[in-house]
A and B are shown apart, each in its own frame.
Chain A
Amino acid sequence: MHPSKSIIFFTVISGTGYGIFIGLLFNILFEEIVYTIEYKLFLSLVSFLMIVTGLLSSTLHLGHPERAWRAFSQWKTSWLSREGLTAVITFIPMVLFYYFWIINIKGYILLLILTSIFSIITIFCTGQMYASLKTIPSWNNRLVTPIYILNGITVGSLFVYSLNFYFNYKLHLFEKFIYIIIILNFVTKVIYWISVRKKSNTTIETAIGIKSNNITFFEGPHTGKNYLTTEMINAIRKQNSNFLRITFCILSFITPLYMINQYSYLVADPFILKISMIAVFILSFIGMIIERYLFFIQSKHVVGLYYGEKY
């Protein structure tokens, strides 16, 4: 599938914004931290901007962005519609949470729990939109939606972690939470990569309905490209995709694991360390962009069979 920049950017940045609430919820529930007003304002602003820019960029790939409001109507059948609707509903507990938390009114924990639940539901809808497409075998996989959710939580938590680190908050359990999430994410991803090697039961034989051991593509409908070939038929060389997979694992999984585990042994200026931890978050974010790029470029739509693509 064609890796559309606005879709990749949208899913990663809004996923991270939603993931921040999960990381923060864990901190508020299990860590004894007294948050300063600067921390609260900064986290609120960043998470809000991430979600808003994500949603706005999602409308950029539309042919008619001015009609985007119509997409809220078909929630009965369409995951895209559900995604849009849950994304908007999430703003209600989210904005209330910001207000209650910053002013320090009781009840903000309940609002944060609500925001976290709706955040996960929103990412779930995004994942399901892809996972429900039978036409793209590598997306029509049970692990696609969990990976979307885990990716959001991973990068979101790393943001909260780097911010806590910057504000010198002492942590006990949050580091372990990040270890578990990253390892879970990595294992799920590896199982996913193995499971998508399985061949689809849609073949050229079922596509044209003729039984034969040897069907070759003789001639296309035209000599040039068309919408279908540019949108659905994309490929990346195996060595490049392997390189990008490894880069993704290093940026999003290994670097944060190493830094969180080893920072206390590193001889460095505390300020440099703080900046490095923010860099760790940014690198893991870049890693997720690479992962999402691969998710698109490596997926094959069955329509390719009609254009002589081999599966």
Chain B
Amino acid sequence: MTELPKKTNKKLGLVIDLDICVGCHACAVNCKEWNTSGHSSPLHDVEPYGDDPTGVWFNRIHTFEVETEVKGSKTVHFPKSCLHCEDAPCVSVCPTGASYKREEDGIVLVNADTCIGCKLCSWACPYGAREYDETAGVMKKCTLCVDKIYNENLPENERVPACVSSCPTGARSFGDLADENSEIVKLVSEREGYDLMPEQDCKPVNKYLAPKLNKDIFKNNELKPISKDENQSFEDWIEQVQGASK
């Protein structure tokens, strides 16, 4: 079971656009909400209202300040969940076969009935995608909302992972990354989507799109203060700002 499939028919995954993400944490909250009653339910919290709460989350947003060539530095919000790797090290280290990668769509899952809670898979994952549920004594992880994306009780347009449906800015896209004609693959090639930690040789399926660096943004169109001209409305000023950032 813990032998990885040589090839999966589909490579379902996410593409996360760091240029768009505003770091609102809505995807993480909706993820917790959906999954606490889904495939791996419940996602336990320990002392949720105490001084030192902890709990299982499948999706977390980290924020970095990145110094760029362009004047100033950029704040990058970085959502991170399981990347459903092709060479998932978390699967091959599992001693019981509880961790597995599905041949039909490449989703990496844990069977909570056979997991012994040895935690080795979480050590093997470089991305910190797996979180141990102390209360249940088993490892849990992102399921790519396997119970939502195939759920025939939902209207077709809602059959996407919870993080994707909740993103208010459209920074997350879901699709089959093995299908070269799909929108998601086009997006990746257009924006040069990349792998996280390629040197760890996990071949992650999920791709990230880098924040754009508009080098001209400060060059010619330094933002001017709002005009003292009383005739200029707020809308005019918005247009002026938008013009400057194009």
Contact = CB atoms under 8 A, between A and B. Distances in A.
Interface string A280-311: 00000000000000000000011100110000
Contacts of B57: 221, 226
A144 B65 CA distance: 36
Interface stretch (B94-102, B161-169, B237-245): B94-102
A302 B200 contact: yes
B38 interface: no
Interface string B97-136: 1100000000000000011111110111111100110101
A70 B131 CA distance: 21
Interface residues of A, number: 58
Nearest to B135: A63
B190 interface: no
Contact of A221 (B61, B92, B132, B211): B61
Interface stretch (B6-14, B73-81, B144-152, B177-185): B73-81
Given A206-B198, A226-B131, A218 B65 contact: yes
Given A64-B137, A302-B200, A136 B95 contact: no
B188 interface: no
Interface stretch (B48-56, B216-224, B226-234): B48-56
B234 to A, nearest CB: 31
Interface in A193-242: 201-202, 204, 206-210, 212-222, 224-228, 230-232
A71 B116 contact: yes
Interface stretch (A36-44, A76-84, A101-109, A112-120): A76-84
A210 B65 contact: no
A220 B65 CA distance: 12
A246 interface: no
Nearest to B47: A224
A1 B123 contact: yes
Interface stretch (A24-32, A127-135, A170-178, A271-279): A127-135
A89 B152 CA distance: 49
A80 B95 contact: yes
A202 B197 contact: yes
A212 B67 contact: yes
B63 interface: yes
Given A207-B197, A215-B65, A216-B64, A231 B132 contact: yes
Contacts of A204: 64
A61 interface: yes
A129 B89 CA distance: 12
B33 interface: no
Contacts of B136: 63
A202 B126 contact: yes
B138 A64 contact: yes
B39 interface: no
B154 interface: no
Contact of B118 (A1, A80, A134, A227): A80
A132 to B, nearest CB: 8
Contacts of A135: 89, 123-126, 200
A63 B94 contact: no
A74 B121 CA distance: 13
Contacts of A71: 95-96, 116, 118
A49 interface: no
A306 B78 CA distance: 9
Given A71-B116, A224-B52, A227-B132, A63 B137 contact: yes
Contacts of A70: 95-98, 114, 116
Query: Chain B CB within 10 Å — which of A62, A79, A80, A135 has the most?
Result: A135
Interface of B: 1-3, 18, 25, 28, 52-57, 60-68, 73, 75-76, 78, 80, 89, 92-98, 114-120, 122-128, 131-132, 134, 136-139, 194-201, 208, 210-211
Given A208-B196, A226-B55, 12 more contacts: A63-B134, A65-B116, A70-B95, A77-B93, A81-B95, A202-B199, A208-B208, A215-B67, A221-B60, A227-B54, A227-B122, A232-B128
10 contacts: A70-B98, A78-B93, A209-B194, A209-B195, A218-B63, A218-B64, A227-B132, A228-B128, A232-B123, A306-B127
